[in-house]
Structure 1
Amino acid sequence: MAEPKVLSIVLAGGEGKRLMPLTADRAKPAVPFGGTYRLIDFALSNMVNSNLTKVAVLTQYKSHSLDRHISITWRMSTLLGNYVTPVPAQQRRGPHWFQGSADAIYQSMNLINDENPDYIVVFGADNIYRMDVRQMLDAHIDSGLAASVAAIRVPRSEASAFGIIDAGSDRVIERFLEKPSDPPGLPDSPDESFASMGNYIFSRKQFVEMLEFDGQNADSKHDMGGNIIPAFVAQRECAVYDFTENQVPGATEKDRNYWRDVGTIDAYFDAHMDLISVVPEFNLYNQRWPILTQQPQLPGAKFTLHSTAESSIVTNGCIISGGDVDHSVLSPGVRVEDHASVDRCVVMHNSRIGRNCVVRNAILDKNVVVPDGVHVGIDREADEARGFHISDNGVTVVPKNTKVEQV
């Protein structure tokens, strides 16, 4: 049997309002994560590791840093016809920007026409997980249906926070429910429900026909999860793919089937804390299924006399000069000075934490300067007086290029 032709589309045009102020100057998929990565690197690594090497990334809002990152980092072999390419909104269907995730693909139909694939993979750009997409593709082909939706198992008691899939034992989706008050259980596990991961695979002919139909519907919101998938469900042409069946090489028992939506500040912060436990919830050190990115050309991290770093990720170019770092993630070029204390923090590129500073439960965006003796994340009123955002769980966020004032 001939190898099927596959085009992968990564939807990276969202504003990411709930991640403000981290998205004040960048698209959500371009937000740094885990020290050296950006959020989009996880979806793209899954594609490339799955040998899906024709990838279009649809961008829209504040996309400059995202486009630059993709162009510089994700260079594929043109000799073999492989590519990862950013595709901005081009108004091919008229003088308007993308009206929704389905409209983004509808307006980019030239990509499908040019590549002429048998199957189209449509994934989101900003979740943290590992997945062998080929296994889902094989399951989709075996189903014989037009569409497949990847799903994670969540406790039924928590399922009202998700888009929920109601499917029978044959895996054909009966209903697609948005945050239902009484979520259905699974046939093999009544106390669990299937929650959509926002990852889809389509057979080309039926998908194009559905996009064309939806594009002409003035009442549609032109959303993948809100319109396209329910339309396939109504035709009984949509299957669920159980993420727990996906087997990724090198996965540990603890991080197998790990998936996190990092759409809020607290979820983003908690996902970082998952990286740094002794046995991490998500293991960045799996060399059999690596998360790929462009690494800055900097020397290794340096620790001077009396410096400490425990349960932390300290990346290249960092200098800990007599300070203490605990349960934190430090991006390249960060400097922590003498007698400074950094605990449960995410500190991004080239930030500086001065002598005798205390920084707790905080996210410092790029190029932040905390002058000598200043405290962050200690006094909520002081942080609010500085105009900093404080999350529901008490995480202080210091915006990019800020010099923190003493109050």
Structure 2
Amino acid sequence: MTLMAAVDASVKVAGLQDLTIHRSVSSIPFAGRYRLIDFALSNLVNADINSVGIFASQPFGSLIDHIGVGKSWDLDRRKEGLFFLPTTHQNGGIATVGSFRDFEEHLQFFEKSRQTHVVVTSSFVAGQLDYKEMLAHHLASGKDITEAVGASGSLKSYILSRRLMLELIRSYREKRILSIEDLVNLKKAPYSYGVYEYKGYFAIIDSIQQYFKESLGLLDENNRRLLFLPQAPIYTKVKDEPPTRYLDGSNVSNSMMANGSTILGNVKNSIISRAVTIGINASLDSCIIMQKCTIEENCELAYVIADKDVYIEKGVKLIGTADRPIVLRKGERVTKEDSQ
């Protein structure tokens, strides 16, 4: 294979702040049992790319815990494989993908590679990009940099030669460019720019509203079939948990349910992650409930995003809207008095 990959897991996405206080955008849970970075990593390994650098800024504890040494993506190899490349900048990354400042800190990752071309991609786009096909298109076009685009704009993925990448890293200050995305947007001379048109399903997660919309959009079976292709699996960290238990009196409809939960209440149009407890007579409609949350009896929730380890005491009523869902931050405890 002639491709190596740089996954930018340090991009600042201001619209997701409530979900990124304790984690990077790349490790936000998505679709019940996945993290956003799973889609980028799976696209790469499905294209037989086995030299992958993850450029990450603080806080990245959750990301390290999730990806480990890359075993779940078959990237735990003696040669090449997964490289975790943290940046030293205390204020995190910039707002565009492919920071040359971050790449410069780990220049040897690019210098020592035997691959001829580089994929640079974000970690907040869920889709099924075929990098083999994109590389063939790039080579046939003769362009210096190729950008993947969908119906609504950029997919934040780029291909260029390793030689050009090294040139750009060494000269970005002089050229006054911040990143690959910045360079492509500015169309700086003397480089040439092409596009690869991606026609499949994708979701760009760059705000709470988009996260909520795209998450619940996966309750549509057609969307799930387009994102989760049998010939191109989406891999994630494996957790050995029992099946979810649906006890007497529970009722679940049009929802995605991960393993290890206990359901005694009513759930519809929602996404429930692993190890969640929903109490007797609790009612959930159009909610996203992340791992290890507890919702006690007689609660009523609609249009709520509950981050990991949220505890909602009995009798709480929280009603948001599709445009403005209520976000409960990681580890938050909500009482009946809080909701009044």
What is the TM-score when the length of structure 1 is the normalising length? 0.76
Contact 1:57 1:86 (C-alpha < 8 Å) held by counterparts: yes
Q: Note the 1:252-291 alignment, pairs <5 A.
A: 257-280=200-223, 283=226, 285-291=228-234
- % same residue: 25
Shift in CA distance, 363/201, structure 1 to aligned 2, threshold 3 Å: same
Alignment counterpart, residue 108 of structure 1, candidates 106, 109, 122: 106
Secondary structure of 1:263 counterpart: coil
Does the Cα contact within 8 Å between 2:184 and 2:193 map onto a contact in 1?
A: no
2: distance between equivalents of 1:266 and 1:277?
A: 18
Secondary structure, counterpart of 1:276 in structure 2: coil
3-state DSSP class of the match of 2:210?
helix
Q: How does 1:389-400 map to 2 (within 5 A)?
A: 393-400=323-330
Distance in 2 separating the partners of 1:122 and 1:15: 16
Give the Cα–Cα distance (whole angstroms) in 2 for the partners of residues 341 and 89 of structure 1: 44
> Offset of 1:7 from its aligned partner?
1.3
Task: Select 1:212's aligned residue among 129, 153, 170.
Answer: 170
| Equivalent residues in 2 for 1:237-386, closer than 5 Å | 237-244=192-199, 257-280=200-223, 283=226, 285-321=228-264, 323-377=265-319
Q: Distance in 1 between matches of 2:83 and 2:260?
A: 29
Q: Which runs of 5+ in 1 are unaligned?
A: 155-194, 245-256, 379-390
Q: Provide the rounded CA distance (Å) in 2 between the counterparts of 1:356 and 1:221.
A: 55
Distance 1:116 1:314 in 2: 43
CA gap 1:278/1:243 in 2 versus in 1, 3 angstroms = closer
Q: Deviations over 1:210-257 (max 9, x none)?
A: 33221334xx2512222356355x33522111112xxxxxxxxxxxx1
CA distance in 2, matches of 1:122, 1:222: 14
> Aligned AA for 1:332?
R
Q: CA deviation at 1:264?
A: 0.4
In structure 1, the residue corresponding to 2:333 is in which secondary structure? coil
Alpha-carbon separation, structure 2, partners of 1:306 and 1:332: 20
1:136 aligns with 134
- Structure 2 distance, partners of 1:298, 1:74, is 18
Map 1:187-226 → 2, pairs under 5 A: 195-217=153-175, 220-226=176-182
Q: Deviations over 1:5-59 (max 9, x none)?
A: 3211101112332112110111111111111111101100100111111100100
Please give the alpha-carbon distance, in whole angstroms, between the structure 1 residues aligned to 2:65 and 2:13. Answer: 19
Q: Name the residue aligned to 1:181.
A: none
**Change in CA separation of 1:231 and 1:214 when aligned onto 2, cut-off 3 Å:** farther
Letter in 2 for 1:108: H
Which residue is equivalent to 1:71? 68
CA contact (8 A) 1:275 1:282 kept: no
Q: Distance in 1 between matches of 2:281 and 2:17?
A: 31
Say if 1:214 and 1:228, in contact at 8 Å, map to a contact too: no
Deviation of 1:392 after TM superposition, in Å, equals 8.4
Larger displacement relative to structure 2 (273-282 or 46-55)? 273-282
Q: 1:229 to 1:54 in 2, by over 3 A?
A: farther
Aligned to 1:172: none
> Which entry has the higher C-alpha Rg, 1 or 2?
1
Q: Distance in 1 between matches of 2:7 and 2:51?
A: 11
* CA-based RMSD: 2.3
- 1:356, 1:372 within 8 Å by CA — same for their partners in 2? yes
Query: Hey, what's the Cα distance between the residues in 1 that align with 2:159 and 2:108?
Result: 18
2: distance between equivalents of 1:132 and 1:259?
A: 12
User: What CA distance in whole angstroms lies between the structure 2 residues aligned with 1:201 and 1:313?
Assistant: 35
- The CA distance in 2 between the partners of 1:311 and 1:350, in whole Å, is 21
Q: Distance in 1 between matches of 2:64 and 2:77?
A: 22
What is the deviation of 1:64? 1.4
Match of 1:173 in 2: none
- Answer whether contact 2:10 2:92 (CA < 8 A) is retained: no
| SS of the residue 1:115 aligns to | coil
- 2:67 aligns to what SS in structure 1? helix
- Please point out which of 117, 120, 125 is paired with 2:118: 120
Name the counterpart of 1:10: 7
Q: Displacement of 1:302 after TM fit?
A: 0.7
1:22, 1:229 → 2: CA distance? 28
- 2: CA distance, partners of 1:50 / 1:346: 31
Letter in 2 for 1:326: K
TM-score, normalised to structure 2's length? 0.91
Structure 2 partner of 1:88: 86
1:61 equivalent in alignment to 2:17? no
2 CA distance for matches of 1:295 and 1:41? 12
Give the whole-Å Cα distance in 2 for the aligned partners of 1:334 and 1:70: 22
Q: 1:401 maps to what in 2?
A: 331
> Match of 2:324, as an amino acid?
G
Distance in 1 between the 2:75 and 2:59 partners? Answer: 28
Indicate whether 1:36 and 2:33 are aligned. Answer: yes
For the residue of structure 1 that corresponds to 2:83, the secondary structure is strand
